Amino acid sequence: MGEESPASPLPPAPAAKVYYDGCPGCAMDRKKETHAGVPYKELLFVATTTFVSALPITSLFPFLYFMIKDLHIAPREEDIGFYAGFLGAAYMIGRGVASVFWGVAADRVGRKPVLAFSVFSVIVFNTLFGLSVKYWMAIATRFLLGALNGFLAPVKAYSIEVCPPDQQALGISVVSTAWGMGVIIGPAIGGYLAQPVKQYPHLFHENSVFGRFPYLLPCLCISFLATLVLISCIWLPETLHKHKGLERAVEMVEGTTTQESAEPPKKSLLRNWPLMSSIISYCVFSLHDTAYSEIFSLWTVSDRKYGGLSFASKDVGQVLTVAGASLLVYQIFAYRWIDRVLGPINSTRVSSALSIPIIAAYPFMTHLSGIRLDVPLYIAAMLKSVFAITRTTGTSLLQNNAVPQEQRGAANGIATTAMSLSKAFAPAGAGILFSWAQKRQHASFFPGDQMVFLLLNLTEVIGLVLTFKPFLAVPQQHKQ
């Protein structure tokens, strides 16, 4: 009878997860384990915060020309665009300067206080912008609004941290969709409520406060919405883990690993290639989307003899409103299924590839009119908005999953800074490009606006290429 082989040693028992009593992050982790499903209350706050914070970014565009004219800063009418460009870029420059600071602050003091302060800054500085009677005051308030409204980095981290792993794509898509709706509805608020004495003389008297400050009403409307969101911060739960100084009892739960022991050693964010590669593609797509937004508006209102559509401002607003509504429908009914089937990387690649033929088709629409123009134009605008949101959501999800929680705010701060600088450059570059293209209507190689949309597509192709190896390093959980 042969000898029995020695019994193999039992595998080590998995470490227990430690919950610190009094830690808000641990409380949120407990809640996610005991309440599976979509955190509707937290995501509602994410959506409203992102929405009201995005409104002032674009709300000034419909009245920017008239505001510069009323401030009497431009020596000639032809110079109004020059001064308008600096005022339009002041917000993004301010945000680019301060985003890393707010991301680090969110990792140190928590997501909730940074979000609350950001909403408070919207109330104060957006109102002061409406009260501006000097050009320097308008520039200063817009710059400070961008610098002190540090919501984007912590709100992306927060949207990830309130969701269980299978719902994190939904959390990021809520941020992207609310942002998209805010930057589309913002101009509608500015256009309808600016200069109320001229637009609604039966409701507003010339000697009233809105006669003296003709651009205050849209700012007050946005500030009122921000006040409601600020009040709701009272009931907002924190998600950041705060273990230092806690000496209370801990609750041991079998079957999972300790958070601290499971985390790899921290490494420099700038040396984290999965993070930095996703930020690079994110910035290229942001540059494209901002340039596209400006070129689309300029192209639709320009005369047909220059390759445009000869639209009125209200016609452009209507197209953008329908495109914004399509984002909400897409968010509710389609995005989660698409993310489940394709994942963030493939959904980014597919949406980027499908955007190319849409952009290529725009310059040929100038030969259409009536219903034959409206149908393809509205469909193209809606699809382009949906594809842009899908790309933004996919790259944001990759960024947040490339770092541990205690670096997530700083990582989003770096991404926001880089994105803000690219968005500050995009409007000026797009305006110069469009002006140059208008002067070459009879060129033999891609005449007029065909060259504009060709260069937009070139930017899209660069972004698409950056989503493949070796340019994109994929976080471990997304490797297929």
CA nearest neighbour of 399 among 412, 390, 418: 412
- At residue 476 the predicted structure's pLDDT band, cuts being 50, 70 and 90, is low
Predicted confidence (pLDDT) at residue 349 exceeds the cutoff of 70 = yes
* Residue at a domain's end among 244, 260, 283: 244
- Is 194 domain-assigned? yes
- At residue 465 the predicted structure's pLDDT band, cuts being 50, 70 and 90, is very high
Task: Name the residue with higher pLDDT: 213 or 311.
Answer: 213
Q: Are residues 309 and 454 in the same domain?
A: yes
* Residue at a domain's end among 193, 227, 244: 244
In the chain, pLDDT over 90 holds for what percent of residues? Answer: 30
Interval 90-116 mean pLDDT: 89
Predicted confidence (pLDDT) at residue 373 exceeds the cutoff of 60 = yes
- Is 261 domain-assigned? no
Q: Which two tokens stand for residue 442?
A: 């009879």
pLDDT of residue 250: 42
Q: In this predicted model, what pLDDT tens digit does every residue of 52-84 receive, in sequence order?
A: 999 998 888 777 778 888 898 878 765 776 777
pLDDT of residue 413: 86
Q: Are residues 224 and 87 in the same domain?
A: yes
Q: Are residues 362 and 408 in the same domain?
A: yes
Q: Is the peptide bond before 470 cis (omega within 30 degrees of 0)?
A: yes
Q: Are residues 280 and 193 in the same domain?
A: no
- Is 424 domain-assigned? yes
Interval 219-243 mean pLDDT: 90
- At residue 479 the predicted structure's pLDDT band, cuts being 50, 70 and 90, is low
Q: Are residues 71 and 209 in the same domain?
A: yes
Q: Are residues 26 and 80 in the same domain?
A: yes
Dist. CA 94–CA 86, nearest whole Å: 12
Q: In this predicted model, what pLDDT tens digit does every residue of 176-200 receive, in sequence order?
A: 888 888 887 887 788 788 888 988 8
- Is 291 domain-assigned? yes
Q: Are residues 214 and 361 in the same domain?
A: no
- Is 163 domain-assigned? yes
Task: Name the residue with higher pLDDT: 293 or 148.
Answer: 148
pLDDT of residue 1: 46
pLDDT of residue 329: 86
The residue written with tokens 């400070």 in the block is: 144
Task: Please give the residue range of the domain that contains residue 100.
Answer: 21-244
Q: Are residues 75 and 118 in the same domain?
A: yes
As for how many domains the chain has, the answer is 2
Q: Are residues 372 and 276 in the same domain?
A: yes
* Residue at a domain's end among 244, 263, 286: 244
Predicted confidence (pLDDT) at residue 347 exceeds the cutoff of 70 = yes
- At residue 438 the predicted structure's pLDDT band, cuts being 50, 70 and 90, is confident
- The mean pLDDT of the chain is 83
- Is 10 domain-assigned? no
Helix 168-193 to helix 40-58 angle (10° resolution) is 40
CB atoms near residue 27 (< 10 Å): 17
pTM above 0.75?
A: no
- Is 13 domain-assigned? no
pLDDT of residue 7: 53
Q: What is the CATH number for 96?
A: 1.20.1250.20
- At residue 262 the predicted structure's pLDDT band, cuts being 50, 70 and 90, is very low
Q: Are residues 185 and 284 in the same domain?
A: no
Q: Are residues 206 and 94 in the same domain?
A: yes
- Is 7 domain-assigned? no
Q: Are residues 400 and 452 in the same domain?
A: yes
